[in-house]
Amino acid sequence: MNAASTFLRRVTLRNYKSIAACRVELAPLTFLVGPNGSGKSNFLDALRLTADALRTSLDHALRERGTIREVRRRSGGHPNHFAIRLDFTLPTGEHGWYAFRVGAKKNGAYEVQEEECSIGGESALSLAHFRVENGEVREASFSPTPAVVSDRLFLVAASGTPQFRPVYDALSQIEVYNLNPRALAALQKPDPGDILRRDGSNASSVLQHLNAASKARIDEYLERIVPGVSSPEAKTFGPEETIEFRQVVRGQAASWRFNASSMSDGTLRALGILLAIFQGGANGAVRRAPLLIGLEEPEVALHPAATSVLLGALREASRQTQIVVTSHSPDLLDHPDIAPESLLAVDASDGLTTIGAIDEAGRSALRDRLFTPGELLRQSQLQPSKDALRDVQHDKQLRLFDDEGER
């Protein structure tokens, strides 16, 4: 895999929903693997909240999730905040990190207690930085600085400067997909088609704006995932659109045409996944393709035999776009060439989620090719390392607001 596609190198979370603390490294293609209800989706939601808070507002992002009470972790220790840190590499090659901590106040109110961003070059010297604490700019590499608003992220205001605009653009365009076959099947309103929506409800527009190379890859993979189905195209119905498929029908010389409303959930989800991961080839796109996308259980509704083809598509797409996948499917992971460093084990005990690299026993079994990741998952042998457990036990020592995370 191409390490150049790795936008987020490390993610650190504290008190986010069921996650007390975690610090994990991400690969170009990363699998979050664990049973249902273990907290895999909470990890992806932390990335989505960051993007939502930047491109809309922090208030909107929290309200969508039911206010800060539903976001900060509930426990006997009564944590009153949550915090997120993202260590990144921009397409220019510059390294940096962005972190913020949001604290709860009375009656569902909240405030941004601390926020920092630092961008450096290969020399690791910071070229641009700011630090905001308790509503005041404490440090900044530029002036004059915009006003601080306690319930908004300062990076939004700082994005007006050329130094921080690339960070804002990259983080605000993270996309996490939970594709809905009903949304894909329904008649859709036309839109610019530059970026696929979270549920797939503008798939027809995205499909017709793809360039020829991306469309060809989607056609090829779809026909392999769903044999006999091919050539999805956008079709206009008055002021709305849908997707039309060609399907081989026994006894007929030519393929028949079916609208999306007549196709199976598995076919629609397969197309949605392929659009999500290959959407970077839009003609005349207004918005840049995401540097990272998350996929919620892409194997759902697919035949087990199709999952190896899906894995091939994910691996190909991850050469250009970083992909993070949640899964509890051994079939998707039944491939001996999945590298141990691309797997993050997710476990939950008493409502507390632990996320980390798989333990040494699992890594050894994979390195020696004694088992595939799928076989270890079937045997419940994909477990987080002891270091991940230690992070949870000593989460207050997990630093988010200095360069400790770089060491």
User: 111: closest CA among 89, 134, 90, 140?
Assistant: 134
Report how far Cα 78 is from the mean position of its chain's Cα atoms.
Answer: 28
The predicted pLDDT at position 194 comes to 86
User: 292: closest CA among 317, 272, 268?
Assistant: 317
Q: How far apart, in whole angstroms, are the C-alpha atoms of residue 3 and residue 311? A: 18
**DSSP state, residue 368:** T
Q: Which residues of the chain have pLDDT under 50?
A: 1, 122-124, 405-407
Measured at the CA of 298, the angle between CA 191 and CA 54, to 5 degrees, comes to: 50
Are 274 and 218 in contact by the 8 Å Cβ rule? The answer is yes
Q: How far apart, in whole angstroms, are the C-alpha atoms of residue 70 and residue 62? A: 8
Question: Per residue in 50-104, pLDDT tens?
Answer: 999 999 999 999 999 998 988 987 765 567 899 999 999 999 889 999 999 999 9
Phi-psi region of 151 (alpha: psi -120 to 50; beta: other; left: phi over 0): alpha
Question: Per residue in 151-180, pLDDT tens?
Answer: 999 999 999 999 999 999 999 999 999 999
Place of tokens 């091919």: 230
Q: What is the pTM of this model?
A: 0.93
Q: How far apart, in whole angstroms, are the C-alpha atoms of residue 54 and residue 57? A: 6
